[in-house]
Amino acid sequence: MLKKHLLTGVVTASLSILVSGCATNDLTNTKVDKPGFSSVSYADIANDAKTVNDVVSYGLGQKGQRYSPMTQINKDTVKDLVPVWNFSFGGEKQRGQEAQALVKDGVMYVTASYSRIYAIDTITGDEIWQYDARLPSAILPCCDVINRGAALYKDLVIFGTLDAKLVALDRKTGKVRWKKKIANYKDGYSYTAAPLIVNDLLITGNSGGEFGVVGQLDARDPLTGKIVWTRPMVEGHMGYKNGVENGITGKTNASWPGDLWKHGGAAPWNGVTYDPDTNLIFVPTGNPSPWNSHERPGDNLYSASRVAINPDTGKIVWHYQTTPNDGWDYDGISELVAFEYTDEKTGKMVKAGATADKNGFFYVLDRTNGKYIRSTPFVEKITWAKGIDANGRPIVNEENRPGNPNGEAKGKSVFSIPSFLGGKNWNPMAFSPKTGLFYVPANEWGMDIWNKPVNYKKGAAYLGAGFTIKPTFDDHIGALKAVDPKTGKIKWVYKNNAPLWGGVLTTAGGLVFTGTPEGKLLALDDETGKVLYSFQTGSGIVSSPITWEQNGEQYVSVTSGWGGAVPLWGGEVAKTVKYLNQGGTVHTFKLHK
């Protein structure tokens, strides 16, 4: 049965009725084809960044640039953007909504809190089907009951659940086609990322770094869920391909003392990007376990890193570690985005990759081999490091490392910038080939942090640290920044009172879309940062906007629903935003005619 949804904002319309294979668009009174379910080929996924009539991958393309070549909605016309339908996830499960939606053949596939997924008619906003995972009561998610999205392949839509399972559903009916376990949730594992299809393989990671799990990337047959290869992200563990040993990750005890590598963290909990030019999967990895770095001297590979894996072999090709022997929970889980630029000295084109790390530095690497090119701070007043040396290794300020407890209840507390929630966290940035700029959703905050004694127990929290987050400045925490990757210089900054926790979208129309916890969907000028459009959605936006074309019109859609890690872990910051309302609504817009 179709759900009914109320329109809000400046446009009011009645619900459409499906008639004779067509639906009526109430804004234009024209007939459009009803939703379809044609097969999503790998060619569709590989070309996603270039096509405009669908969104079939997380990141609007495997490279994760989140750039659309569409221009109908632009600097001049965006003022005429109006809501055309809203869709409520319903119920009482109105927690953080961090998902990026997918669109194919007039159907939107969007995940929601508590491991739910919906198929929605993109013209009418009517529900086609809904699937709710049956979650056990003892799940152990770190940072809210969120989900960041799904993957489309052939006639399937595939997403992960908080109890560390993968579910493949029939795109037309929502019926389960297969279900597989990633890991045992009772041991602290979970899953929140959007899967990515690479070379006809389903690529997924795992979550649970705060519980001493072993981070691992898996490649599966997307039609059956059968494992093809696995690659652990902690040095010393064995990889497998087709059930046969496929080489140890790194070298046992090379960068981990004793047996700590057996529960070393490094979970790839934020998904991956892929570069077809080099045929490499770029895997961002999480914090080492425990947080107390004095317990694990050494670099603790491959935690807090970007790891490049060949999808055909399941083996590591190169790695770059942003925070060796991490003592501040500076996961390296920010996405590595492939892009090109021309070197002004040599005139040659550089195949690069950029990432804005939790540790506060923006890095540019040679994506073919992982070599360091440059880095620059993208947040202010960084304390944990004095800079980055010529080899790309941080010059750590050891006085700003939390102290060793040495048998006491707690070690020396230090005030570190940025906070463990990061200069940038999971929320994806965008790159515009038109301007050559990255648009980074940054946050200006620090933390009091101290270490505590801790012992590993399977399925229990494994931190060994305490913390309190505080704003760096009085007038803002969130700061959307336009960063020039060729110089590291920041071209403009949009300051926001509350932390920015949603993703970014940029377009050839000269716009940068993002949302705020205060509930505003914003469109900014990509060259100046001037706000050109603002719409209040009623709850905080911590998701990633998308855009597509249908029946000759450009649409923009974003999910609203405050939550995620900030209200759970934010300390003093969380208190300042406790007034924000939770929610769970998809908002879809187009130009008013």
Q: Is 448 a catalytic residue?
A: no
Provide the pLDDT for residue 56: 98
* Token digits of residue 48: 């996603």
pLDDT, tens digit (0-9, with 9 covering 90-100), for 29-82: 444 568 999 999 999 999 999 999 999 999 999 999 999 999 999 999 999 999
* pLDDT surpasses 90 at 442: yes
Q: pLDDT averaged over the chain?
A: 93
Contact yes or no for 241/231 (Cβ under 8 A)? no
Percent of the chain topping pLDDT 70: 94
Distance between alpha carbon 217 and the CA centroid of its chain, in Å? 16
Q: Which of the two residues, 90 and 20, has the higher pLDDT score?
A: 90
* pLDDT surpasses 90 at 579: no
Q: How many CB atoms lie within 10 A of CB 344?
A: 8
Provide the pLDDT for residue 248: 98
Beta sheet of 176-181, edge-to-edge order: 151-153, 156-161, 165-170, 176-181
pTM attached to this predicted model: 0.94
Give the C-alpha separation, 105 to 544, whole Å: 20
Strand partners, 152: 157
What beta strand segments (E) does 11-62 contain? 22-25, 30-33
**In the chain, count of helices (H) and strands (E)?**
3, 42
Provide the pLDDT for residue 23: 43
Full set of structural domains in the chain with CATH: 22-72+99-591 (2.140.10.10)
Amino acid at 40: V
Provide the pLDDT for residue 581: 86
* Token digits of residue 445: 């905050």
Q: Quick one: pLDDT band at residue 110, thresholds 50, 70, 90?
A: very high
H or E stretch covering 512: strand 511-515
Contact yes or no for 365/485 (Cβ under 8 A)? no
pLDDT, tens digit (0-9, with 9 covering 90-100), for 308-359: 999 999 999 999 999 999 999 999 999 999 999 999 889 999 999 999 999 9
* pLDDT surpasses 80 at 399: yes
Provide the pLDDT for residue 33: 66
* pLDDT surpasses 90 at 586: yes
Provide the pLDDT for residue 572: 82
Q: Quick one: pLDDT band at residue 91, thresholds 50, 70, 90?
A: confident
Catalytic residue among 144, 275, 326, 329: 329
Region 456-464: mean pLDDT is 91
Give the C-alpha separation, 393 to 14, whole Å: 59
Contact yes or no for 114/566 (Cβ under 8 A)? no
* Of the candidates 518, 501, 483, 513, the residue with the CA atom closest to the CA atom of residue 569: 501
Contact yes or no for 304/321 (Cβ under 8 A)? yes
pLDDT, tens digit (0-9, with 9 covering 90-100), for 229-256: 999 999 999 999 999 999 999 999 999 9
Region 106-134: mean pLDDT is 97
The three-point CA angle 295-298-303 to 5° equals 90
Provide the pLDDT for residue 575: 80
Give the C-alpha separation, 460 to 409, whole Å: 19
* pLDDT surpasses 50 at 512: yes
